[in-house]
């Protein structure tokens, strides 16, 4: 078996990417502290061709070299907006017809493996702060909470791992 070379991957350029059909998902970063996490989520979002990212509260904004270190240019392909307040982003997305989903451990959450997205739906997924998770204010505004099943001794995944798991799951369920 031979690994493919970069030029064999058939990747689209930024302008072509911006014009292509996107997965009907917006990622909301609710006060994410680590710029490496922010950059990695940009890169993961590019990989699954989501619509955009909403950076909220203390979440840093591009351009910043610490974000670019892990984004590897994805800040140029993925549309993003900044909101001082996560709840304002949620209100705007609700008005635009998005189902608001917190990715969190909460009462009455739905396990990711049990959730089947509607192919005609539009989704906004909130990923919370690395220590405190999704804010209580945002949790009051959500339509649904999805939890990733876990079986080890730790209480949570890193935010980037969570984003990768959830975005892949939605991509697979919506596209395959």
Closest CA to 39 of 93, 85, 13, 78: 78
**The two structure tokens encoding residue 22:** 């996107």
Closest CA to 99 of 127, 120, 78, 130: 120
Across the chain, which has 176 residues, the per-10-residue mean pLDDT values are 94 95 98 98 98 98 98 98 98 98 98 98 98 97 98 95 98 96
- Identify the structural domains of the chain with CATH numbers, from first to last: 20-149+156-175 (3.40.1280.10)
Closest CA to 47 of 65, 69, 72, 82: 72
Instruction: Output the pLDDT for position 148.
Output: 98
Instruction: Output the pLDDT for position 159.
Output: 98
Contacts of 87 by beta carbon, 8 Å cutoff, 6+ apart: 137, 138, 141
Phi then psi for 56, rounded to 5 degrees? Answer: -125, 145
Instruction: Output the pLDDT for position 112.
Output: 98
Q: Which position has the token pair 């505004």?
A: 141
- Asked if the peptide bond before residue 63 counts as cis, ω within 30 degrees of 0, the response is yes
Q: Is the distance from CB of 138 to CB of 129 less than 8 angstroms?
A: no
Sheet with strand 99-103: strands edge to edge: 79-83, 50-56, 23-30, 123-128, 99-103, 144-147, 110-111
């Amino acid at each position: 078996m031979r690994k493919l070379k970069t030029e064999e991957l058939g990747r689209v350029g930024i302008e072509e990417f911006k014009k292509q059909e996107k997965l009907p998902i917006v990622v909301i970063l609710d006060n994410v502290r680590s710029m490496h996490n922010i950059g990695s989520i940009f890169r993961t979002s590019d990989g699954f061709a989501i619509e955009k990212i909403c950076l909220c509260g203390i979440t840093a904004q591009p351009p910043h070299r610490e974000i670019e270190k892990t984004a590897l240019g994805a800040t140029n392909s993925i549309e993003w907006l900044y909101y001082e307040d996560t709840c304002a982003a949620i209100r705007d997305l609700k008005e635009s017809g998005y189902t608001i989903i917190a990715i969190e451990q909460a009462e009455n959450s739905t396990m990711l493996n049990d959730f089947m997205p509607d192919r005609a739906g539009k989704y906004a997924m909130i990923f919370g702060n690395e220590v405190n998770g999704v804010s209580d204010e945002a949790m009051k505004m959500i339509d649904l909470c999805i939890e990733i099943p876990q079986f080890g001794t730790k209480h949570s995944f890193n935010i980037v791992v969570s984003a990768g798991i959830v975005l892949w799951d939605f991509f697979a369920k919506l596209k395959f």
